[in-house]
Structure 1
Amino acid sequence: MSKDVIIPALGESIASGILSSWKVEEGTFVEIDQPIYELETDKITQEGLAEVAGVIQFLAQEGDEVEIGATIAKIDESATPPQATEASISQPVDSVPAEMPKSDPPLNEEPVESTENPDPDPVLPPTEVSSSQPLSPAVRKLLDETGINPSSIVGTGKDGRITKGDVLKVQSAGTATAPLSEMITPVPTPAPAVPEAKILSDDRITRRPLTPIRRKIASRLVEAQQTAAILSTFNEVDLSAVMALRKSHQDAFVKTNGVKLGFMSFFVKAVVHALQAVPGLNVRIEGDHLIEHHFYDIGVAVGTKKGLVVPVLRDCEQMSFADIEQGIVGYAEKARSGGITLEDMQGGCFTITNGGIYGSMLSTPIINPPQSGILGMHSIQQRPVVRDGEIVARPMMYLALSYDHRVVDGKEAVTFLVKIKEAIEEPARLALGI
């Protein structure tokens, strides 16, 4: 009896994904709850676990786009697990060689080719398989596209099955099964007056499909540009007070909370402070209605190898600095391990992105639909400023606020950014609520 491996539902907005990798080899025995595949969608990357134990047979290949509910493999439950030690236990004693090595070689030692036996056993060629041999859907599709006769292919898979690699090998070798029109390449006669063009070799470029998450990022950014009336306003902030506060209390903060006091918690608190003072930015458009938020869920952009994700810190007005820092660290660890879930990224009233960690001096971030605003942080640089009539060097950062001008007026946007500047330059405002 075989059990189908089916792609489960991952959310209302997810209809398909890319089978990015198989975690096991085809034909191997898998255990219950063993990771067997990795599925990459436009929002998350998720591992699939075996629901039963048995021998697995693939019905889809790595890189295939599979729909939710599709069957990508079968697991033969009637198969028994391999007995690795059975042969060695039943082996008679007199079959042991007279001379035994003193010790086993290290497990990581490379096998050494023996020179004592000059006539090694001949290697048997793979068995040629007739066209009646069962073919996987991916192999059958490739055969239809290339026009190659399966009876002319030597299968190297399990039990002599034909794999995609076998078909591609025959195709690249240019076998006699290819149509005659493809085998004959006419030699063009170049015009004497036109210089010969330089043809770039294939090894100078790499072509690969966009990952689902990259396609989703591209789609949302284009949607934001085409739907919202995005405008940006700028200011700069002196971080002297925040840096002095961190320096004075960092050790005690780490000892008490087990996490460092970073800059992001100050900016999250400052954004909440500004949203409370200027509620016109805590809104979104929904059809012909304007939805006002009376909560403060702040998205914090986190960069990963596969793209940018924006997990959301919930009810930030109720969170302490330690709560915010611990939440950010937790999301960063989940992002690095690919453990970010849909629930982590859903919702959000406002987003903060920090290009300064990569050295960005100034940028115009794009809002995260359907939100109406996003704050861009940048690198901290010592710059000359005038304080009390004197020119002094201070740690300065440029701030950028991009907003949807359909619902946010310029006065509101500028006031909002000034509120953030004041809160960062005088952190006591955050504690006093002024």
Structure 2
Amino acid sequence: MIDIKVPTIGESISEVTLLKWTKKEGEYVERDEVIAELESEKATFEVNAEKAGTLKPLAKEGDTLNIGDVLAQIDETATKPEASAAPQAEAPAAKPAEAPKAAPAPVTNQAPVTSVPNDIKATPVASAIIADKKVDASSIKPSGTGGKIMKNDVLEALNNPGKKAFAGTELMSRNVRTEKMSALRRTISRRLVEAKNTTAMLTTFNEVDMTRIMEVRKQFKDKFKESHGVNLGFMSFFAKACAIALGEWPSVNAYIDGDNIVYHDYADISIAVSTPRGLTVPVMRNVESMSMADIEKTVVTLAGKARDSKLTAEDLQGGTFTITNGGVFGSLMSTPIINIPQSAILGMHKIQERPMAIDGKVEIRSMMYLALSYDHRIIDGRESVSFLVRVKELLENPELLLLGKDPVKTLLEL
């Protein structure tokens, strides 16, 4: 037997949480095959088998483990099973012979289920009632095996219109559940409180007319996708605008280290990504040197890694400024919390049509509120407001993103 221990991840990390086993107890695993996924306070990572053999897990999913703890054992003396390959090869040969007999049954059973979504299972009688009474199948609590909706489930929903219990409970439930916080959620909690308690945080607001950006996207989105293989989103415009403004207002791109101020001559912009396990903020490096396509590709890559829990500690480290987009969830206005040790964070919000006064006339424009939360210890009011106004100017005039200056004024050397 060889021990598989929790590996060392970083100097500041002392414990991890076992998210899930990717291999079962007694299953034969190959060398370097992934056997489990662990989560630290910063990222998730995989554990590989150091030798080939039979797996014996020594921890349960959800357990908190210290660095160096034995996670599992592998019996390297076990022989690789070979008999399992034969039944699998024979199985397909047997199925085609039986297929013609089995085919008619599903057709008759599924015929009445015309108005029930494919991902919802229901008996024929229940399906008929749902279709006849036009009941929302997703609002019915199933009681059948495997989550199947039964006749009585539909009748119960009809007898209690407008009443729907929470998932997994009955009507009038008083159930209370307690779950252990994950390492990631504990880190989020600690850092948010720390940001509130250790910074002189203040928020300034402005609004940006998104009309020009939306026109540019509408005009070039197909060509952009064809040329670069990625969609032209809003994040590239905002990231590019912030990178230019950060170069002009260095204190927004700095942080306090004791009695010193650390400035950055580059823009490593963190983007807040919401995942089922909590908020993560992967970093885009040197945004000031990236093209619009580079930014969009990086956003897609980082968001995908976040959703699949594949972000590494390197993906999350550093960052000189953060952008968060509450607009994707419908937020009209909010005050984002600084991602320490950074000194500022920009909050994007929902784009909403509003009547605006343009040259003495009322026009309907697509508007977005922007919020800049900043640490007043290092960033003065003049700098924070000027930074946000500059971002607004760049977004409302996307052509400025190319040079950071008005093309005509550049031509005239003004």
TM-score, reference length from structure 1? 0.72
C-alpha deviation, 1:30, in angstroms: 2.1
CA distance in structure 2 between the aligned counterparts of 1:405 and 1:102, rounded to whole angstroms: 71
| Aligned counterparts of 1:315 and 1:102: Cα–Cα separation in 2 | 56
Distance 1:25 1:367, change over 3 A: same
The corresponding residue for 1:390 is 361
- Tell me what 2:133 maps to: none
Question: 2:192 matched to 1:221?
Answer: yes
Aligned with 2:354: secondary structure? strand
Match of 1:50 in 2: 49
Q: Distance in 2 between matches of 1:20 and 1:280?
A: 40
Aligned to 1:373: 344
Deviation sequence 1:337-392 (CA, Å, 0-9, x none): 11111111111110000000110000000000000000000000000110010011
SS of 1:399's equivalent?
strand
- What's the CA shift string for 1:176-197, capped at 9, x where partnerless? xxxxxxxxxxxxxxxxxxxxxx
Mapped to 1, the partners of 2:32 and 2:376 lie a distance apart of 50
Number of the residue aligned with 1:39: 38
- Which of 316, 319, 322 is matched with 2:290 structurally? 319
Q: For 2:46, what is the secondary structure of its paired residue?
A: strand
Question: Among residues 374, 392, 400, which one is paired with 1:421 in the alignment?
Answer: 392
Q: RMSD in angstroms over aligned alpha carbons?
A: 2.1
Question: For residues 198 and 86 of structure 2, what CA distance do their matches in structure 1 show?
Answer: 69
Distance in 1, matches of 2:188 and 2:294, equals 29
Q: Which amino acid counterpart does residue 419 of structure 1 have in structure 2?
A: R
| Number of matched pairs | 329
Distance 1:360 1:306 in 2: 21
Residue 403 (structure 1) aligns with: 374
In structure 2, the residue matched to 1:339 is: 310
User: Aligned letter for 2:42?
Assistant: K
Moved over 3 A (4+): 85-88, 101-106
Contact 2:247/2:265 (8 A) holds in 1 = no
Task: Check if 1:234 corresponds to 2:205.
Answer: yes
| TM-score, L = length of structure 2 | 0.76
How has the CA–CA distance of structure 1 residues 251 and 27 changed in structure 2, closer, same or farther, with 3 Å as cutoff?
Answer: closer
Change (3 A) 1:83 1:364: same
1:290 to 256, 261, 286: 261
The 3 A distance-change label for structure 1 pair 105 and 393 is same
CA distance in 2, matches of 1:203, 1:36: 39
Alignment correspondent of 2:83: 84
Shift of 1:85: 5.8
2:218 matched residue in structure 1:
247
Q: Does 1:3 align with 2:2?
A: yes
C-alpha separation between the residues in 1 aligned to 2:390 and 2:96? 73
Q: Which has the larger radius of gyration?
A: 1
Give aligned-pair identity as a percent: 51
Change in Cα spacing, 1:82 to 1:405, as seen in structure 2 (3 Å) is same
- Per-residue deviation, residues 78-113 of structure 1 (Å, max 9, x unmatched): 12123426999xxxxxxxxxxxx997657xx9xxxx
Shift of 1:283: 0.8
1:303 to partner: Cα distance: 1.1
1:153-175 CA distance string (max 9 Å, x none): xxxxxxxxxxxxxxxxxxxxxxx
1:278 matched to 2:254? The reply is: no
Which residue does the alignment assign to 2:140? none
> How far did 1:58 drift?
2.6
2:29 maps to what in 1? 30
Counterpart of 2:327 in structure 1 is 356
Q: Quick check: 2:231–2:296 contact (8 Å CA) kept in 1?
A: yes
- More helix, by proportion: 2
Partner-residue secondary structure (3-state), 2:223: helix
**Are the equivalent residues in 1 in contact too, given 2:284–2:298 (CA < 8 A)?**
yes
Name the amino acid aligned to 1:383: R
Counterpart check, 1:65 vs 2:64: yes
Structure 1 segment 132-211 matched on structure 2, within 5 A: 204-211=175-182
Contact 2:247/2:266 (CA < 8 Å) preserved in 1?
no
Q: Residue 273 of structure 2 contacts residue 303 of structure 2 at CA under 8 Å; is this kept in 1?
A: yes
Q: Relative to structure 1, is the Cα distance of residues 103 and 256 closer, same or farther in structure 2, using a 3 angstrom cutoff?
A: closer
